Chain A
């Protein structure tokens, strides 16, 4: 399979002329996480949901904003009406889009509906998810990602960076997500917020209770912040007001000082409120990403299905407390704990308070995490940007595990697959290993060394496009499945190099980061 994005320039020329169009019909936060791609593409048109539209309109990296509610397409397609009527209804919703001149379409959503939408421009080049011979197909590297996220403990590629990779940028297109705050919204925010003291926004809710820090914990955090003279604003949607009521009841008289803005701000005003705050404390939510996009610092509290490496706060300087039970990150709709979610109580209010006060004091995430008493199962991580994009530095050093080594190896392999221009520098990875982890146990070291050898064999198999040999390696080293199952005639360019980079990382991990001094550079297309 030759992905359309890999067409030669001559073939690309034969496509319809017109601007690029990015289809992003997922949640609010997903639009913000798409802004690096928009920046890399240079002002494409965007097709977004009505809920995302205010964000898109305020984004400077887009041309036109087209609005489509996917639920309306689903309604029309699934209605119990005659096929003629259903098709006419669908056609009526699609008609305003069909007239747009589009040269390249980037469909970011793994959904048959969005792939159907992408077929509105049959002469355009298609990137991302589309229908191909009756099946959903993505980029050549998509199978690697799909196999990678099957075990989410191993994912170290951030969604924003994956999305930006559609444009194959040479480095991160943006240092943080971006949202432009309107002056009128800024004025409204000033009216809503108390003036003249450090301000923190608390986002109590999340789209799934498994991701949500308990209200009682938030109440203790709030009490501590208020006691230190920090002004507080509660942000979130009207549906989450019940959480605000519980928190305010818990706070008693102290709650009178808290500005409850839940459900009382539209998106532009919410953005301005977050911009005015010195810190936002939130789980994995749209507000969290909006806070980073307006330049507010974030204390992110991740738990349940939330995985910081996938959707953590994008940019430098944010502090993340990631609670991870043995089962985490779990499946959103089928958690092992059946909703009991013991991981939600792992992050203590005391630790969150101490970290929040330190961040409000202007210290780095690394210093803010110093001295935090974190129980087993909670990691402190600092957001950092590197030559590819986002990564999170482990702040509370612990012994390296096989999973850690494998995750880093797959990250570097993935980066090489996603961006042909990415340069793998083992020195940097070696330093990361050395700073974030203490030396692995002997057994771990032995296993990592075994994986390093397997990855080297996999590189040889991939070099010869020998899918059978790759499967045999996978049988011996199941952790390498995302790479092994990507092998074959339709493999992405550079798979063999990616496997060699993975092997190098695993070898370093086996030695506890030793070997980094060699400073080897592995560039796609230059290693062999």
Chain B
């Protein structure tokens, strides 16, 4: 007997749209219905049994006993045996394969069950799952492992959203071994600590000298890759071990952190959300594809094209541009010696990407008084006379001196292709925020999304072409007041919106829920650090008085 019409009618009373869709769905051709040894129908998909072939009713009963109390989110419909004992409960059931559902509707009379649950086929219709426990139909979970992982993560996230953020969240920070994102990882860790978190940063960068030997080795590449893989495995296991001891509320990994997907899975199993901040150009760094969906939250710095890709990968993603760190990126008093080392009328600090080499060579030939710091610049003219500090890598503190000393700081976003010239990137690089935070005057190329972060012309000067860059550099060199005004406005914008404090607060809000609006009183204690006490005093002093000049 075919129960399809009866079941569709029962479903239509609560979910008419889904009933219509199922009526039009084709049964899965690989699914096979057959009577069990006890009589009620059994179901398999190819070689995978979705019900017991002996006694599916009894199996359903024993599966139902494993369900947690309260409202449930269940993955897998099967033939509904495991759901019937739970029919009195608040049930959301996600069956990703409509063809299987259609077959189940034909096989059994489910008219008593269907009006008492909400059935979902597409993940985006799961809706608000807060407060629900996860109930996996184990045979279906074997069939849909990615969906099982996604549902578990989603329930964990939504549970976290319902909970208030812990008063002093423990955050495990995982930095990379080396590279440009390493200092950013430490600035993030500092910002998290200043936001009241208990932070443990895995000191992965201790391995940098060893890692350097490996990456500079002239040996066999295959062998190097194997060693690299061993290192990543070791660091992943170490991180999991440390996490087990630290019991973080959040694991925060920075781009290039040496964690493979398995390590991230293991961290997820500890119950805390995991977050990854991918502050790289996805077009050149495709490792994110293996990791994006493993993390509870994937933060990135690029726009729609990357987001489409992340949607396809099933990642929960958020746009989060990089920023500056005020204790580091700030106006400095420079000694005469520092000025001599780090001053140029027009300065650039960064890696010699092909597009930069091309553009800067042309500008130098046109007489722009350029000074260049950073690595990978050619030895030949015109660079020989422009490159400072022998083209060595500058520490963060030195970079800040360049940004402070130069009258005009150039910022040309990178492109690996020389022909790109002024490349029109679709991300905003850290330099944009760092120069502004230093109070430096910045001439930056027009990149997508920049106007959402700064007011071009008012907070930084923006060029769209090489000629425009040259013209603007000359104009601003001759107008110190305009430079100062723009630089000051840029610094305030960064301090007000684009610091790692803001970025970490956003990550905490997304991963652990909104911040407590009550004022923390730990800053006022005599034992608190002097800067915290002074911050507290300033917060309160502004509430009490208005600034008055003596004259």
> Which residues from chain A sit less than 8 Å from chain B, CB to CB?
26-27, 30, 50-51, 53, 56-57, 64-67, 69-79, 81-98, 108-117, 119-122, 131, 134, 136, 159, 162, 237-238, 263-266, 310-311
B213 at the interface (CB under 8 A from A): no
Q: What is the CA–CA distance of A191 and B523 in the complex, to the nearest angstrom?
A: 54
B480 at the interface (CB under 8 A from A): yes
- The verdict on A91 contacting B535 (CB below 8 Å), with A81-B505, A83-B518 known, is yes
Within the complex, the shortest CB–CB distance from A424 to chain B, in Å, comes to 25
B331 touches A67 (CB 8 A): yes
- The verdict on A122 contacting B551 (CB below 8 Å), with A78-B542, A88-B194 known, is no
B519 at the interface (CB under 8 A from A): yes
A71 touches B532 (CB 8 A): no
Within the complex, the shortest CB–CB distance from B338 to chain A, in Å, comes to 11
B451 at the interface (CB under 8 A from A): no
Residues of chain A lying within 8 A (CB to CB) of residue B518: 83
Q: What is the CA–CA distance of A135 and B545 in the complex, to the nearest angstrom?
A: 9
Q: What is the CA–CA distance of A74 and B480 in the complex, to the nearest angstrom?
A: 26
Q: What is the CA–CA distance of A58 and B485 in the complex, to the nearest angstrom?
A: 21
Q: What is the CA–CA distance of A329 and B195 in the complex, to the nearest angstrom?
A: 48
B547 touches A70 (CB 8 A): yes
B517 touches A112 (CB 8 A): no
- The verdict on A77 contacting B534 (CB below 8 Å), with A50-B439, A113-B547, A159-B551 known, is no
B333 touches A112 (CB 8 A): no
Within the complex, the shortest CB–CB distance from B498 to chain A, in Å, comes to 11
Within the complex, the shortest CB–CB distance from B307 to chain A, in Å, comes to 26
A98 touches B531 (CB 8 A): yes
B539 touches A90 (CB 8 A): yes
6 A-B pairs in the complex with CB atoms less than 8 angstroms apart? A72-B495, A75-B496, A88-B501, A95-B326, A95-B327, A264-B481
Residues of chain B lying within 8 A (CB to CB) of residue A93: 326-327, 330, 495
Q: What is the CA–CA distance of A86 and B523 in the complex, to the nearest angstrom?
A: 12
Chain A-chain B contacts (Cβ-Cβ < 8 Å), number: 187
B499 at the interface (CB under 8 A from A): yes
A117 touches B534 (CB 8 A): yes
A119 touches B533 (CB 8 A): yes
B550 touches A83 (CB 8 A): no
Q: What is the CA–CA distance of A367 and B288 in the complex, to the nearest angstrom?
A: 82
Contact partner of A85 (CB less than 8 A), chosen from B332, B439, B502, B551, is B502
Within the complex, the shortest CB–CB distance from A172 to chain B, in Å, comes to 18
Residues of chain B lying within 8 A (CB to CB) of residue A74: 542, 547
> Which residues from chain B sit less than 8 Å from chain A, CB to CB?
191, 194-196, 325-327, 330-333, 439, 478-482, 484-485, 488, 491-492, 495-496, 499, 501-502, 505, 514-520, 523, 529-542, 544-551
Within the complex, the shortest CB–CB distance from A417 to chain B, in Å, comes to 16
- The verdict on A82 contacting B505 (CB below 8 Å), with A26-B549, A77-B539 known, is yes
Q: What is the CA–CA distance of A40 and B519 in the complex, to the nearest angstrom?
A: 42
B531 touches A88 (CB 8 A): no
**The 10 residue pairs across chains A and B that have the minimum distance between CB atoms:** A112-B541, A116-B538, A90-B535, A112-B545, A82-B515, A111-B547, A116-B537, A88-B194, A65-B333, A92-B326
- The verdict on A87 contacting B479 (CB below 8 Å), with A77-B538, A78-B542, A109-B549 known, is no
B531 touches A120 (CB 8 A): yes
Q: What is the CA–CA distance of A122 and B538 in the complex, to the nearest angstrom?
A: 14
Residues of chain B lying within 8 A (CB to CB) of residue A70: 547
Q: What is the CA–CA distance of A92 and B437 in the complex, to the nearest angstrom?
A: 12
Q: What is the CA–CA distance of A159 and B533 in the complex, to the nearest angstrom?
A: 31
A87 touches B537 (CB 8 A): no
Q: What is the CA–CA distance of A53 and B550 in the complex, to the nearest angstrom?
A: 20
Contact partner of B480 (CB less than 8 A), chosen from A91, A92, A95, A266, is A266
- The verdict on A89 contacting B499 (CB below 8 Å), with A110-B549, A264-B479, A311-B551 known, is yes
Q: What is the CA–CA distance of A136 and B540 in the complex, to the nearest angstrom?
A: 12
Q: What is the CA–CA distance of A252 and B253 in the complex, to the nearest angstrom?
A: 68
Which chain B residue has the least Cβ–Cβ distance from A268? Answer: B480
Which chain B residue has the least Cβ–Cβ distance from A70? Answer: B547
Q: What is the CA–CA distance of A90 and B482 in the complex, to the nearest angstrom?
A: 28
Which chain A residue has the least Cβ–Cβ distance from B536? Answer: A87
Within the complex, the shortest CB–CB distance from A313 to chain B, in Å, comes to 14
Q: Is the interface of A mostly helix, strand, loop or mixed?
A: helix
A238 touches B479 (CB 8 A): yes
Which of A51, A66, A71, A92 has the largest number of chain B CB atoms within 10 A?
A92
A110 touches B327 (CB 8 A): no
Q: What is the CA–CA distance of A160 and B217 in the complex, to the nearest angstrom?
A: 66
Within the complex, the shortest CB–CB distance from A371 to chain B, in Å, comes to 33
B333 touches A57 (CB 8 A): yes
- The verdict on A84 contacting B479 (CB below 8 Å), with A79-B496, A98-B530 known, is no
Residues of chain B lying within 8 A (CB to CB) of residue A113: 538, 541-542, 547
Within the complex, the shortest CB–CB distance from A159 to chain B, in Å, comes to 5
Contact partner of A120 (CB less than 8 A), chosen from B534, B544, B545, is B534
A75 touches B492 (CB 8 A): yes
Within the complex, the shortest CB–CB distance from B507 to chain A, in Å, comes to 12
Residues of chain B lying within 8 A (CB to CB) of residue A73: 538
B196 touches A92 (CB 8 A): no
Residues of chain B lying within 8 A (CB to CB) of residue A79: 496
Which of B485, B538, B540 has the largest number of chain A CB atoms within 10 A?
B538
Contact partner of B331 (CB less than 8 A), chosen from A50, A82, A108, is A50
A84 touches B332 (CB 8 A): no
B538 touches A83 (CB 8 A): no
Contact partner of A238 (CB less than 8 A), chosen from B196, B482, B544, B545, is B482
- The verdict on A87 contacting B520 (CB below 8 Å), with A30-B549, A73-B538 known, is yes
Q: What is the CA–CA distance of A238 and B194 in the complex, to the nearest angstrom?
A: 40
Within the complex, the shortest CB–CB distance from A306 to chain B, in Å, comes to 10
Q: What is the CA–CA distance of A67 and B331 in the complex, to the nearest angstrom?
A: 6
Residues of chain A lying within 8 A (CB to CB) of residue B505: 81-82, 84-85, 88
Q: A27-B549, A76-B496, A82-B517 are in contact. List 19 more A-B contacts (CB 8 A).
A: A50-B488, A69-B331, A82-B516, A83-B519, A83-B539, A88-B196, A89-B501, A91-B529, A92-B194, A93-B326, A95-B531, A98-B529, A98-B531, A113-B547, A116-B538, A131-B537, A159-B550, A265-B480, A266-B481
A263 touches B481 (CB 8 A): yes
Which chain B residue has the least Cβ–Cβ distance from A78? Answer: B542
B327 touches A111 (CB 8 A): no
A92 touches B332 (CB 8 A): no
Residues of chain B lying within 8 A (CB to CB) of residue A91: 194, 529, 531-532, 535
Which chain B residue has the least Cβ–Cβ distance from A284? Answer: B551
Which chain B residue has the least Cβ–Cβ distance from A90? Answer: B535
Contact partner of B478 (CB less than 8 A), chosen from A75, A114, A119, A264, is A264
A94 touches B545 (CB 8 A): no
Within the complex, the shortest CB–CB distance from A104 to chain B, in Å, comes to 16
- The verdict on A76 contacting B495 (CB below 8 Å), with A50-B488, A238-B481, A263-B481 known, is yes
Which chain B residue has the least Cβ–Cβ distance from A266? Answer: B480
Q: What is the CA–CA distance of A159 and B550 in the complex, to the nearest angstrom?
A: 8
B520 touches A67 (CB 8 A): no
Q: What is the CA–CA distance of A111 and B529 in the complex, to the nearest angstrom?
A: 23
A90 touches B538 (CB 8 A): yes
Which chain A residue has the least Cβ–Cβ distance from B332? Answer: A67
Q: What is the CA–CA distance of A88 and B439 in the complex, to the nearest angstrom?
A: 20
Q: What is the CA–CA distance of A73 and B538 in the complex, to the nearest angstrom?
A: 8
Residues of chain A lying within 8 A (CB to CB) of residue B495: 72, 75-76, 89, 93
Residues of chain A lying within 8 A (CB to CB) of residue B331: 50, 53, 67, 69
Q: What is the CA–CA distance of A87 and B519 in the complex, to the nearest angstrom?
A: 9
Residues of chain B lying within 8 A (CB to CB) of residue A120: 530-531, 534
Q: What is the CA–CA distance of A113 and B496 in the complex, to the nearest angstrom?
A: 18
